[in-house]
Amino acid sequence: MNEDEIIKRKVSLSDIIHILNRPYPVKRIRISQGAFNFLPKKAISTLNKMNIKIEVIKLKRGPKTKVNQDNIFMLYKSDLSAYEISKKLKIPLRTVYYHISKIKK
Say if CB 31 and CB 56 are below 8 A apart: yes
In degrees, rounded to 5, the angle at the alpha carbon of residue 61 between the alpha carbons of residues 59 and 64 is 110
Q: How many helices (H) and strands (E) would you count in the chain?
A: 6, 3
60-84 pLDDT tens trace: 777 777 778 889 999 999 999 999 9
pTM higher than the cut 0.75: no
Give the domain 69-104 fold.
Arc Repressor Mutant, subunit A (1.10.10)
Q: Which of 6, 3, 45 is nearest to 25 (CA)?
A: 3
Residue 43 has pLDDT above 60, yes or no: yes
Question: What is the residue extent of each domain of the chain?
Answer: 4-57, 69-104
